[in-house]
Chains A and B, each alone.
Chain A
Amino acid sequence: MFDVLVVGGGIVGSAVARECALEGWRVGVVGGGNLSGSATAAGMGHLVVMDDSPAQLALTAYSRSLWRGMAQRLPKTAEYDGCGTIWVAADEEELIEARAKCAVYEGMGIEARMLSSAELSEAEPHLRKRLAGGLIVPEDGVIYPPAAAQYFLGEAKRLGAEVVGLRAVSAAHGEVRLADGSVLTAERIVLAVGTDCTLLPSLPIQGRKGHLVITDRYPGVVRHQLVELGYLKSAHKLTEDSVAFNVQPRPTGQLMIGSSRQYGGTSAEIEPAMLRRMLDRTMEYMPGLGQLSGLRAWTGFRAATPDKLPLIGQAAGLSEDESLWLAVGFEGLGITNAPGAARLLVDGMKGRTGAIDATPYLAARMCRQVGVVYA
């Protein structure tokens, strides 16, 4: 009998396992260490404060502060790098948007500063000239998600958590049935299952496919995570496939290039047309990148909820089962939000007040939002 069984061993499941183990609970992680097909294996690993909504801003800011707090303890393989984000404004309209974003960040006590066109060009010489300017968020960073997940899982194991390699075929009422027919029992079950809704079909989650490309090593060509402000427009679209300029310098000197967002479809295959659209967009912002050698391309699926906020806490609202807890639906922010979500979840289990208000992430909101129209 476990206190908590975590189903899913991606970065969120691993972070939850560690947080539970820190409480001294008896913890099991089902599917732990198996990252194949997960967003943890596919994602960029951008640790970023986002302000789509006050709730998203609160969770990303909180989580980022947790990452920064543990940066020194992370293994070298986790490749933590506080390179900062620059939001690139192509024109006056985007510059206005950048200023508004800057004001929001400042209001939250998050360091952020406007860059003039010349300052932007100096900070990132390979960006095309005559861009309107930018917003730099110096405390954002990047991480290598598979190694970070392994670190969390390793910490959990060190604290006594048990890793179960088998897949779960059902999880309800304190019982997790494994692929070999055996059953594990626990007081609480946490579903950290990414896009896989088979264990709880009422999960309102859809996979949003993304493509990424990585280059050979070109140290110093890009210095910050660069994202076009148009990204927000792209990310907000709910029905239409879109691409946005998004380039990340890896500590290896490699450049990771995104991003695309697609709806519908479950095939993980690379779609050359989508890849082409994405890279065309990259070249609009950094024409010189065309000469760089692209090593690999891959795809992944973001686990998206209808209101673009994750589900953290008891499953009430989606399930009557009181043993079920959720840590899913992070869309593109699962890596950033993993430590914050893990802590909020455990705060909820302990019935204590957390560092931020947990209400916006509760599944209970889903019953109220049926039929809501998204702008």
Chain B
Amino acid sequence: MSAAIRTEVLVVGAGPAGIAAATAAAEGDCKVIVLDDNRKAGGQIWREGSVAVQEQEKDSKKRRALERLQRSGAELRTRRTVFAATAGFVDALQETVAGSVTERIEFEQLILATGARERWLPFPGWTLPGVFGAGGLQALVRSGFPVKGKRVVVAGTGPLLLAVAAHLASDGAFVSAIVEQAPLGKLMKFAVSLWRQPGKWIQGARYRASVGKTAYRTGCWVVEAIAADHGQELRAVRLTDGKRTWTEACDLLACGYHLVPNTEIAELLGCTFEGDAVRVDADQRTSIAHVFCVGEPTGIAGIDAALAEGEVAGLACAGKSRDSLSARVITERAFGNRLQRTFALRGELRSLAKADTIVCRCEDVRFADVRGHAGWSDIKLQTRCGMGPCQGRVCGPAIDFVLGCKPASVRQPLYPVPLQALCSSLTEMNEI
């Protein structure tokens, strides 16, 4: 551990919410540090790499935001993974060419902008090569993974599916179907509700238009990913609308069931929750007075909510008025609530896993092993489910949905770290 770094405002996460928060706080004359575990700022939605044609406008928005962040004087430190946190400091691991280095950053105020990850659900065949998360495949494509000429089924739920399909198509993939589990009725209602937010409607319409020839199947879902005979390669997926099932040939499946917020740091600090979301007030302040939370961890509501909430928290840290933003935050929160209602998971998805379907990939735990236990801690202790490197980030939300029990506790280290990172540094040892 090197000597502690001090800052007035520490922002964890450099996606849209974190960028907005850091910019507002720094423009309000605070000393600001922003940490992110990726190589570049932008988070998942503004991830670096190739951009689809339909996203160029989005990209210019990103560029402007990053330029403003840089001008603001906020200090961006990327490739930092926060693995421990207290009310006064966080410990982050920095991966360098020479190995890993630990930094302790002490703060007066903390803004958590930790974003969200894809929800995944267990179904037979999901561990086959060729099956990806929807956002996961998009991220791979951005960093150069070739999909040209590949037949792809995009499935799951949420507005992300259209964006992913558009991106894949623009990179030369043949998207043979977009399979959305939400029923048509809910989706129509959702589309109509967007009349107040034409920007979102237009973005969605653009995505849809770009994959115009692709069937958009609503009220349908993947029941199984099928391997080629004698092979381990994906050959097709079996789809259903609840009444009939059919097979759709494909080389790749991009499947994601909307998003789960990353709330581990908030949990570790003991912030109060409302359901799965961190509870915040109109300043985005959590139940801990000097800790703020913005974007998806306060409830999945997308980029516009993230930008508005980030700015609110940044202004609050700098002691500035955020009144002009209140209306925007309320509108975007309402959008988030509609998202949640529209893309709520249907009950049928609970029964996709078969006895031998893997539910925890880290520890090779099968669905049959996790059934019939008293709760999450029992499942974990008796089957090792969630004990692997991902710490239940992948299987936890899936088991929460399928069996109705949640991972019980969050402890440091939040991510696997070299043991060295938890030890004293040489200088500290010499002091003893």
CA distance A292 to B408 in the complex (A): 26
Q: Chain B contacts of A297 at CB under 8 A? A: 411-413, 422
A130 at the interface (CB under 8 A from B): no
Which one of B183-191, B386-394, B398-406 is at the A interface?
B386-394
| Contact (Cβ within 8 A) B424 A150 | no
Flag A123-163 by CB within 8 Å of B: 1 or 0 each.
00000000000000000000000110010000000000000
| Contact (Cβ within 8 A) B413 A294 | yes
| Contact (Cβ within 8 A) A290 B424 | no
Write the residues of chain A forming the contact surface with B, with a CB cutoff of 8 angstroms.
33-36, 41, 77, 146-147, 150, 165, 213, 215-216, 257, 270, 272, 275-276, 279-280, 282-283, 289-298
CA distance A28 to B420 in the complex (A): 47
Residue of A nearest to B384 (CB): A252
B319 at the interface (CB under 8 A from A): no
Q: Chain B contacts of A279 at CB under 8 A? A: 419, 422-423
Q: Chain B contacts of A36 at CB under 8 A? A: 375, 377-378, 408
> In the assembled complex, how far is the CB of residue A253 from the closest CB belonging to chain B, in whole angstroms?
12
Q: Interface extent on B, as a size class? A: 20 to 34
Please name 4 further chain A to chain B contacts, defined as beta carbons within 8 Å, in addition to the given A35-B381, A279-B419, A291-B418, sorted by A numbering: A34-B374, A280-B429, A293-B417, A297-B422
B84 at the interface (CB under 8 A from A): yes
CA distance A290 to B426 in the complex (A): 13
Flag B56-81 by CB within 8 Å of A: 1 or 0 each.
00000000000000000000000000
CA distance A292 to B388 in the complex (A): 14
Q: Chain A contacts of B417 at CB under 8 A? A: 293-294
Which residues 4-36 of B have a CB within 8 angstroms of A? none
Residue of A nearest to B422 (CB): A279
| Contact (Cβ within 8 A) A146 B423 | no
| Contact (Cβ within 8 A) A33 B413 | no
Which among B375, B382, B408, B411 is the interface contact of A270 at CB below 8 angstroms?
Answer: B411
CA distance A270 to B417 in the complex (A): 16
CA distance A292 to B375 in the complex (A): 31
Q: Chain A contacts of B423 at CB under 8 A? A: 276, 279-280, 283, 290
Can you name 14 A-B pairs with beta carbons within 8 Å?
A: A77-B382, A213-B422, A270-B412, A272-B412, A279-B419, A280-B423, A280-B424, A282-B419, A283-B423, A291-B418, A291-B419, A292-B419, A293-B419, A294-B413
| Contact (Cβ within 8 A) A296 B391 | yes
Q: Which of B86, B381, B416 has the most CB of A within 10 A?
A: B381
Q: Which of A34, A296, A298 has the most CB of B within 10 A?
A: A296
CA distance A279 to B421 in the complex (A): 10
Q: Chain B contacts of A280 at CB under 8 A? A: 423-424, 429
> In the assembled complex, how far is the CB of residue B72 from the closest CB belonging to chain A, in whole angstroms?
32
Q: Chain A contacts of B421 at CB under 8 A? A: 294
Known: A33-B378, A291-B420. A296 touches B429 (CB 8 A): no
Known: A165-B374, A270-B412, A293-B389. A213 touches B419 (CB 8 A): yes
CA distance A189 to B378 in the complex (A): 26
Which among A146, A270, A283, A292 is the interface contact of B381 at CB below 8 angstroms?
Answer: A146
Write the residues of chain B forming the contact surface with A, with a CB cutoff of 8 angstroms.
84, 86, 374-375, 377-378, 381-382, 387-389, 391, 408, 411-413, 416-424, 429
Known: A150-B382, A296-B391. A290 touches B412 (CB 8 A): no
Q: Which of B374, B413, B419, B420 has the most CB of A within 10 A?
A: B419
CA distance A147 to B416 in the complex (A): 25
CA distance A296 to B421 in the complex (A): 13
State the 10 A-B residue pairs at the shortest beta-carbon distance, nearest first.
A290-B420, A146-B381, A293-B416, A36-B377, A294-B419, A279-B423, A295-B416, A279-B422, A280-B423, A280-B424
CA distance A174 to B374 in the complex (A): 28
CA distance A294 to B422 in the complex (A): 9
| Contact (Cβ within 8 A) A293 B387 | no
Q: Chain B contacts of A35 at CB under 8 A? A: 377-378, 381
Residue of A nearest to B83 (CB): A294
| Contact (Cβ within 8 A) A295 B388 | yes
Which among A41, A150, A275, A291 is the interface contact of B422 at CB below 8 angstroms?
Answer: A275
Q: Which of B389, B420, B429 has the most CB of A within 10 A?
A: B420
Residue of B nearest to A281 (CB): B423
> In the assembled complex, how far is the CB of residue A123 from the closest CB belonging to chain B, in whole angstroms?
22
Known: A35-B381, A295-B391. A290 touches B411 (CB 8 A): no
Residue of B nearest to A254 (CB): B387
| Contact (Cβ within 8 A) B374 A33 | yes
Residue of A nearest to B417 (CB): A294
| Contact (Cβ within 8 A) B411 A292 | no
| Contact (Cβ within 8 A) A215 B419 | yes
Q: Which of A34, A35, A279, A293 has the most CB of B within 10 A?
A: A293
> In the assembled complex, how far is the CB of residue B165 from the closest CB belonging to chain A, in whole angstroms?
36
Known: A146-B382, A298-B411. A276 touches B422 (CB 8 A): yes
> In the assembled complex, how far is the CB of residue A75 from the closest CB belonging to chain B, in whole angstroms?
11
CA distance A329 to B408 in the complex (A): 27
> In the assembled complex, how far is the CB of residue A108 from the closest CB belonging to chain B, in whole angstroms?
34
Q: Chain A contacts of B420 at CB under 8 A? A: 283, 290-291
> In the assembled complex, how far is the CB of residue B170 from the closest CB belonging to chain A, in whole angstroms?
38
Which among A147, A213, A291 is the interface contact of B382 at CB below 8 angstroms?
Answer: A147
| Contact (Cβ within 8 A) B419 A290 | yes
Which among B377, B387, B416 is the interface contact of A294 at CB below 8 angstroms?
Answer: B416
CA distance A297 to B416 in the complex (A): 10
| Contact (Cβ within 8 A) B389 A216 | yes
CA distance A156 to B253 in the complex (A): 47
Residue of A nearest to B373 (CB): A33
CA distance A243 to B293 in the complex (A): 37
